[in-house]
Structure 1
Amino acid sequence: MARVRITQVRSTIDRPQTQKNAIKSLGLGKINRSIELEYNNAIAGVIRKVQHLVKVEEI
């Protein structure tokens, strides 16, 4: 599987709790924080839930 870099670009203030939980489950929580993960179906679902808060780029 491919690796992706996920960067939080927007705040979770005034967002539903499910979106806040999704950001936390990715290991993010502050703007401009990045992580690298293996891309799979589970990660794709979480990214889809918060796609408006994060930037995803393939490594």
Structure 2
Amino acid sequence: MSEQKKIKVTLVKSLIGTKAPHRACVRGLGLRRMHHTVEVLDTPENRGMITKVAYLVKCEA
């Protein structure tokens, strides 16, 4: 089996003043604080969360 593709996601904007579902998406992606970067699998679920909070995060393939 080939290894699944990953996406690097970085939190670049503060969560203060954001909606609770958006904060939940950020936590679901594994991001904890500003400028924290994680690698997540490139799945439709993760892409949906990234799209929802696109104004808070930066993505790299």
Q: Same fold (TM over 0.5)?
A: yes
Say which SS state the counterpart of residue 55 (structure 2) adopts: coil
Provide the aligned C-alpha RMSD in A. Answer: 0.8
TM-score (structure 2 length as normaliser): 0.89
Q: Using the TM superposition, give the Cα deviation of residue 38 of structure 1 relative to its aligned residue in structure 2, in angstroms.
A: 1.3
- Alignment deviations for residues 15-36 of structure 1 (CA, whole Å, 9 cap, x no partner): 0000011111111121100101
| Cα drift, residue 52 of structure 1 | 0.5
Q: How many residues align?
A: 58
The equivalent position to 1:53 in structure 2, one of 49, 52, 56, is 56
What is the aligned partner in structure 2 of residue 3 from structure 1? Answer: 6
Q: Which structure 1 segments of 5+ residues have no match?
A: none
Identity of aligned residues (%): 28
Q: TM-score, normalised by structure 1?
A: 0.92
Structure 2 gaps, min length 5: none
* Counterpart position of 2:30: 27
